[in-house]
Amino acid sequence: MSPRLKIAVIGGGSSYTPELIEGFIRHYGTLPVTEIVLADIEEGFRKLSIVGELARRMVAKSGLPIEVKLTLDRRAALEGADYVSTQMRVGLLEARGWDETIPLKYGMIGQETTGPGGMMKGLRTIPVLLEICREMEELCPEAWLLNFTNPAGMVTEAIHKHSRIRSIGLCNSPIAAYKWLSALYSVPVERIECEFVGLNHLHWISRVTVDGEPKLAELLGGGDGYSANNVPQYEWNAGLIRGLGAIPSYYLKYYYLHREILEEQLAAAARGETRAETVKRLEDELFEIYRDPDLSEKPKQLEQRGGAYYSEAAVRLMNSLYNDTGDIQTLNAANQGILDFLPDDACIEVNCRVTRQGPIPLPVATVPPSVKGLIHAVKIYEQLTIEAAVNGDKERALLALAHHPLVTSINDAEKMLDEMLERNRRYLPRFFA
């Protein structure tokens, strides 16, 4: 009799769930999941019901003996779980709208994982994730927590520092890079190797080989590089790319093209076209598609969401942990001396060898000297934000903003922080105790 293997998905009503289910079906031969529990909150019941029924139709079509359960009882979902995946959004898309628009009033970029908006998402999210970890310590202490909830690196570091639960952060950006290179060179991703260095949503690709042949030099010739639907589409400055000697993550456009993106965000907000509003329209369309009782597969329209390829990252990681494969994946893990200018317990995004005991960060051959200062500044901001989230400390939050390169005035930042905290009052009880 095959062993029972239970997966709990917190935020199971997410529009990403069909991609996750597709991944479990595709990898069933090596990851024989017997039970998937999709858990959500009361406000997400409608979406959970719709996407849960689609998940059941997908499993029925596959013919595999996987049971899909839906629940609003998080503790029931966690009890006895082997792997827990988090894909939740505290405050729903309404709070994302605040993250994107309030900073614009103060002349600063509004984005859900970067800058002031990213900080607010962290302040809302970290206490909830730590609460989930406390429940896991009681109900499934040996489970792995795979965190896809943004800001993923910051959230994962908070879990490492304030919980006994084993947790790994992951992001779809590295897989997007491999997909881009695969299309560019017309080879399968298995023949490509990349070295990543940095933090979540703040990384650079410092080495690329195809069939062992170095390709980075020719890739630094200019052009857009890899990008995503949820990031403004600007071409990189060719001189910058050559000077860096590395390919920046598309999230670095918020730093290197600050003025252009701020102007675009202001214009989009004036038209009522923030990313939050775009995502809401996309999700409304997706859930209408999901309602079709004849649909029993992941629809192509899901790739329009910013998190495409999430299931590949999440299911591949579970598979590697379960089978002790030792393969290399780009993950958010504790530094452990890999970047000598950061603390050992800092969460970084680098290549790791995945074993049953967890990810082992691999030494980085090349850290472009010109990126160390930015990595260090953003890491200090992240660590201060974690302290602020755990303790409900407004002064720590303001200090975090003061260290972020996208914050242009501490006086404006203080007014902005007051407004954002007040708007998020119901999600931040520690700040208003």
Catalytic residue list:
251
Q: Report whether the peptide linkage leading into residue 151 is cis, meaning its omega lies within 30 degrees of zero.
A: yes
Residues paired with residue 359 on neighbouring β-strands, in sequence order: 354
Q: Which residues contact 391 (CB under 8 A, 6 or more apart)?
A: 430
For residue 154, give the nearest of 399, 382, 428 by alpha carbon.
382
Q: What are the tokens at 56? A: 């059941």
CA angle, residues 143, 149, 152, in degrees to nearest 5: 95
Q: What are the tokens at 422? A: 């007040």
Residues paired with residue 209 on neighbouring β-strands, in sequence order: 193, 214
Interatomic CA distance for residues 114 and 257, integer angstroms: 14
> What is the identity of the amino acid at 432?
F
- Integer angstrom CA distances of residue 150 from 169, 173, 386: 9, 12, 13
Q: What are the tokens at 290? A: 């999901």
> What is the identity of the amino acid at 86?
T
Measured on CA atoms in the order 356, 357, 358, 364, is the torsion positive or negative?
negative
Interatomic CA distance for residues 168 and 155, integer angstroms: 10
Tell me, rounded to whole angstroms, the distance of Cα 401 from its chain centroid.
Answer: 21
- Integer angstrom CA distances of residue 397 from 105, 122, 269, 389, 408: 19, 11, 26, 8, 15
Q: Where are the alpha helices (DSSP H) in 2-148?
A: 17-26, 45-62, 74-78, 92-105, 115-139
For residue 251, give the nearest of 95, 92, 406, 143 by alpha carbon.
406
Interatomic CA distance for residues 424 and 432, integer angstroms: 10
Question: How many residues are listed for the chain in this entry?
Answer: 433
